[in-house]
Amino acid sequence: MHEMSLCENILGILLDEAASQNFSKVDRVCLEVGPLSGVEPEALRFGFDVVTRGSLAHGAQLDIFEPEATATCAACGTTAVIQDRFDPCPSCGSHLLKIKTGEELRIKELEVS
């Protein structure tokens, strides 16, 4: 359900860009979806197809780039790749982690005509 409303947000952005950047068809959408963004890429694909049906992005290719999640430890200063928000620091075990990357939820680029 959440992914559905995100797809409506994506379509809204595409419509705005179409008006301001003069295009009428979107052929490819490239997204960046971090593992800590709370979004399931597969659900996003499903939602995208449903929401864009009959729109300027009907049938557009959806590329989803999934960057790594990284965090810096406030206790020992290590920056490391993590899988989940509750992971401890891999070098000292502390939970005082500050998320650096992994929360991205962005449209990176569009291929339009």
Partner 1 sequence: MCTVCGCRSGETRIEDGAEHSHGHHAHHHRHYGTGDAGASVPGMSQSRLIQLEQDILSKNNSYANANRRYFAEHGIFALNLVSSPGSGKTSLLVETLKRLGKTHACYVIEGDQQTTNDADRIRETGVPALQINTGKGCHLDGHMIGHALERLATKDGAYVFIENVGNLVCPAAFDLGEAHKVAILSVTEGEDKPLKYPDMFAAADVMLLNKTDLLPYVDFDVEIATANARKINPDIKVLTVSAQSGDGLEDWVDWIGTARAELFAGCSATDAAE
Q: Interface residues with Zn ion (CB under 5 A)?
A: 2, 73, 75-76, 78, 89, 92, 94
Size of the site for partner 1 (CB under 8 A): 43
Phi, psi of 78 (to 5 degrees): -70, 140
| Residue spans of alpha helices (H) in the chain | 2-21, 41-52
Of the pair 61, 68, the CB lying nearest partner 1 is at 61
Binding partner of 105, given Zn ion, partner 1, none, CB within 5-8 angstroms per partner class: partner 1
Binding partner of 82, given Zn ion, partner 1, none, CB within 5-8 angstroms per partner class: none
CA distance 17 to 90: 42
CA distance 79 to 70: 7
Q: Please, are residues 60 and 27 in contact by the beta-carbon 8 Å criterion?
A: yes
Which residues are at the interface with partner 1 (CB under 8 A)? 1-2, 5-6, 8-10, 12-13, 15-24, 27, 31, 36-38, 56, 74, 84-86, 88, 95-97, 99, 105-113
